Amino acid sequence: MKIAYFDTIAGISGDMTLGALVSAGVPFDELNKELQALDIGGFELQARHVERNGMVAVKIDVVISEQPHYHRHMKDIEELIDKSSLAQNVKDRSKKIFREVAIAESKVHSTAIEKVHFHEVGAIDSLVDIVGVSICLEKLGIQAVYSSPIKVGSGALVKSQHGALPVPTPATMEILKDYPILLTDVPFELTTPTGAAIIKALSQGVLASEKIQISAIGYGAGGREIEQLPNLLRVFIGTLEPNYLADEIVSIETNIDDMNPEIYPYIIEKLLCAGAHDAYLIPVLMKKGRPGIILSVLIERAKIDQLLDIIFRETTTLGVRIQPVERKKLVRSTKQVRTSFGIVSAKVITVDGREQLRVEFEECKRIAVEINLPLIEVYRKLEKELSS
């Protein structure tokens, strides 16, 4: 899975993100050309190389030639994006980012999302930043976004349409609720609402010990020199290797061709109760053309003797085969989920960095018995609710 990992050395803003992605390999001319699909005019995109603490980065500037004298609402933004000739993925990402800002602004100002006026964020420069970032991610073929905890400044004030606001600004903090942040003592606005919205809308979270095969690195520069740290956003483009849980278990197998088949379910139940990870039967054709069964059991090495005792005592076999087995499995946990059937225990698994909820059989069985519904109907309804 191809990913973009944003290392927020000095926070994140729209122009820093654009600069980092151009630095990582997006041709500036192609980005500029695709932005014309917005058909808004009144701006020029400029790129230059700057140095921050000895590191060369790309600084993107949106030069406004004609400042608009009107405000845009969320509906206006979405219509502007939808009527463009941009790729559908670009449109979807752009609208998702803007919606994060709209939700935050509506909470900060206690108004409906539809009534939010996009002052700073709806201006041409931020529109270019957000759509430009979406174009870059599409050109790089990014399937998922991750980040470090987001750095924010403190102890300063910034000017806005509403007067002086504390750093981090209320909108930025509203957007970053439930997302890991690092509060620094840097007296500047390290992370802007636009930068926060890019992360909140697109990121699947922070990475811990995952393995990344890096193919490109980009640096986007902020607008000023900062004494405490290099004013940069760094992006790693690469492939995220699957994060599987791994362990080693033991496989015990034996061939049986002279036992009453009615006994097998009893034996399997005893093996599972004794701690076997799995126990199952495989039909085979044995010597002299006799039909037989392979009894196969997966177990931890520490429990081998306990299970061998059951196998030798309860079956007709005279010997078994024991082999070590390497096992890889998805990260999993359980979660209590509110559904139309009430609180239900669901299995949570992680695939490609994304959480999926899966219904447990025993829960479906319990519900089916309690409310007298067909089991398959309970299954289907819960699967639909957990996947939405």
Tell me: the pLDDT tens digits for 58-105?
Answer: 999 988 876 655 577 888 889 999 999 999 999 999 999 999 998 998
The confidence band for 369, taking pLDDT boundaries of 50, 70 and 90, is very high
Domain check: are 23 and 162 in the same one? Answer: yes
What is the pLDDT averaged over residues 336-362?
Answer: 85
Check: CB of residue 132 under 8 Å from CB of residue 32.
no
pLDDT digits (tens, 9 = 90+) for 139-190: 999 999 999 999 998 877 676 666 677 888 899 999 999 899 999 999 989 9
Computed over every residue of the chain, the mean pLDDT equals 90
Domain boundary among 214, 240, 266: 240
Residue 120 has a pLDDT of: 46
Predicted local distance difference test score (pLDDT) of residue 239: 92
Q: Look at residue 164 in the predicted model and tell me its pLDDT.
A: 76
**Residue 377 belongs to what domain range?**
332-387
Is 121 found in the same domain as 86? yes
Q: Are residues 341 and 213 in the same domain?
A: no
Residue pLDDT, tens place only, 35-47: 998 888 778 899 9
CB 293 within 8 A of CB 284: yes
- pLDDT given for residue 273 in this prediction: 95
Query: Are 224 and 255 contained in the same domain?
Result: no
- Do residues 115 and 173 both lie within one domain? yes
**So what's the pLDDT on residue 121?**
47
| pTM of the predicted protein model | 0.68
Residue 176 has a pLDDT of 94
Of 50-54, 72-76, 321-325, the one with minimum mean pLDDT is: 72-76
103 and 205 housed in the same domain: yes
pLDDT digits (tens, 9 = 90+) for 213-233: 999 999 999 988 998 999 999
User: Which residues lie below 8 Å from residue 250, measured CB to CB, with a gap of 6+?
Assistant: 298, 299, 300, 301, 304, 322, 323, 324, 325
Residues 126 and 64: their CA atoms lie apart, in Å, by 11
DSSP lists the bridge partners of residue 298 as 251, 278
pLDDT digits (tens, 9 = 90+) for 278-297: 999 999 999 888 999 999 99
Give the DSSP per-residue string, 136-177: HHHHTT--EEEEPPEEE--S-EEEETTEEEESSPHHHHHHTT
Decide: 160 and 169 in contact? Cβ < 8 Å: yes
256 and 177 housed in the same domain: no
Q: What is the distance between the alpha carbons of residues 151 and 132, in angstroms, rounded to a whole number? A: 22
